[in-house]
């Protein structure tokens, strides 16, 4: 028997993995031991070398000489540094004799393709970001608002065997631009899907909605701050976000809902870039991006998180400019290289 594999079977969220995924994690994991007072991760220091799963002992999380939290057997640490590709935001110090199983970064990132496994870390990061922004006392409360507070009503739900026409009528009657499809796994369909996947493809109203929906649906917890939802929408390039609570899906928050929180935010700039037709209108982009950075900073976001936002926007800008160039000049003579 493999003791690491046996341990992972009982630990959250590894129990959510498929058996072969769990076996891959166990085979790659390295067992490490630390003594009381050992600093396992250093705030602002080298990036985490893996996902650490505590198998024995306790560790202390400390930031700026302030004790934040004690972790014990079964808890994980090191993943914020991996997910953000940034130095640790806290010191992790052994309180007694500690045993950890460390899963390498590439294996951990591969496991995040499992939605159930990834959801645990999204929720944990959301709770962590909310604590950080609440403790900062910074202005810009619209960024720290829980995304669940933006939900106006429950989601429109349509059966898995519905047609596009039936889905469109249900959304029209509810005055909503998105609906959940009761398929397995759950799906989502939006007005934009009807435009790009139905009308643009000359499909009719009898088209099964399953053929044009997006599935599986990625969700975020209702207590995730607005800026966490912004990051998620930017990086996943989605404009509708099902929000989950203790009793299931609370509702669907759209990019428009987040835009109402502030008119000069990342999603506003992203929408401008995606709709760009004339590069000349980019004259104000630099100033708008600078104003956005200042607003995000005062809203409590850390520098690394702001960098991720800017990176997503810059990627969108380059993609759009390349498409415009191809429309004017034809396909590129060779693959793009950076």
Cβ atoms within 10 Å of 120's Cβ, excluding its own:
15
Q: In the chain, which residue ranges form alpha helices assigned H by DSSP?
A: 3-9, 19-28, 79-84, 105-111, 115-136, 141-144, 164-174, 191-193, 226-236, 255-261, 266-274, 285-298, 303-329
Res. 126: pLDDT tops 70: no
pLDDT at 301: 67
Res. 284: pLDDT tops 70: no
**Mean pLDDT across 67-86:** 86
Res. 189: pLDDT tops 90: yes
User: At the top level of CATH, which class does the domain 3-113 belong to?
Assistant: mainly beta
Res. 60: pLDDT tops 70: yes
Q: In 90-163, which residue ranges form alpha helices assigned H by DSSP?
A: 105-111, 115-136, 141-144
pLDDT at 263: 42
pLDDT at 232: 81
> What confidence tier does 84 reach under pLDDT thresholds 50, 70, 90?
low
Q: In this structure, are residues 228 and 242 in contact, taking their beta carbons and an 8 Å threshold?
A: no
Query: Which three-class secondary structure state does DSSP give residue 55?
Result: strand
pLDDT at 5: 92
Query: Which three-class secondary structure state does DSSP give residue 113?
Result: coil
Sorted by where each begins, the domain ranges of the chain are 3-113, 141-254, 261-329
pLDDT at 136: 42
* Topology of domain 141-254, CATH: CBS-domain (3.10.580)
Res. 294: pLDDT tops 80: no
Q: Give this prediction's pTM.
A: 0.45
Res. 319: pLDDT tops 90: no
- Residue 337 — φ and ψ, nearest 5°? -140, 145
**Mean pLDDT across 27-36:** 96
- Residue 52 — φ and ψ, nearest 5°? -95, 125
For residue 179, give both structure tokens: 């609906």
| Dihedral in degrees, nearest 10, Cα atoms 195, 197, 202, 206 | -100
């Amino acid at each position: 028997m493999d003791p690491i594999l046996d341990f992972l079977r009982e630990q959250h969220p590894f129990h959510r993995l498929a058996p072969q995924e769990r076996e891959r994690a166990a085979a790659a994991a390295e067992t490490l031991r630390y003594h009381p007072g050992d600093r396992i991760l250093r705030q602002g220091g080298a990036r985490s070398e893996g996902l650490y799963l505590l198998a024995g002992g306790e560790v202390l999380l400390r930031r700026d000489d302030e004790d934040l939290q004690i972790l014990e057997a079964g808890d994980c640490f090191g993943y914020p540094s991996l997910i953000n590709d940034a130095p640790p935001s806290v010191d992790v110090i052994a309180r007694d004799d500690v045993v950890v199983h460390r899963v390498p970064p590439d294996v951990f990132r591969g496991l995040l393709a499992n939605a159930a496994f990834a959801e645990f870390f999204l929720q944990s990061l959301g709770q962590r970001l909310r604590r950080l922004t609440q403790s900062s006392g910074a202005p810009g409360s619209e960024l720290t608002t829980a995304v669940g507070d933006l939900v106006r009503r429950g989601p429109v739900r349509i059966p898995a065997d519905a047609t596009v026409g039936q889905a469109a009528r249900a959304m029209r009657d509810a005055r909503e631009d998105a609906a959940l499809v009761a398929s397995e796994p759950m799906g989502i369909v939006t007005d934009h899907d009807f435009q790009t996947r139905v009308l643009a493809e000359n499909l009719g109203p009898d088209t099964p909605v399953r053929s044009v929906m997006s599935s599986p649906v990625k969700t975020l917890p209702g207590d995730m701050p607005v800026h966490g939802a912004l990051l998620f929408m930017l990086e996943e390039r989605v404009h509708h976000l099902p929000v989950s609570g203790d009793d299931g899906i609370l509702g669907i928050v759209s990019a428009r809902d987040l835009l109402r929180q502030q008119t000069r935010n990342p999603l506003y700039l992203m929408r401008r870039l995606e709709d760009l037709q004339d590069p000349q209108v980019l004259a104000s982009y630099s100033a708008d991006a600078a104003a956005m950075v200042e607003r995000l900073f005062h809203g409590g976001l850390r520098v690394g998180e702001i960098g991720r936002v800017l990176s997503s926007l810059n990627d969108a800008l380059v993609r759009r400019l390349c498409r415009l160039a191809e429309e004017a000049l034809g396909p590129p003579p060779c693959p793009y290289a950076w």
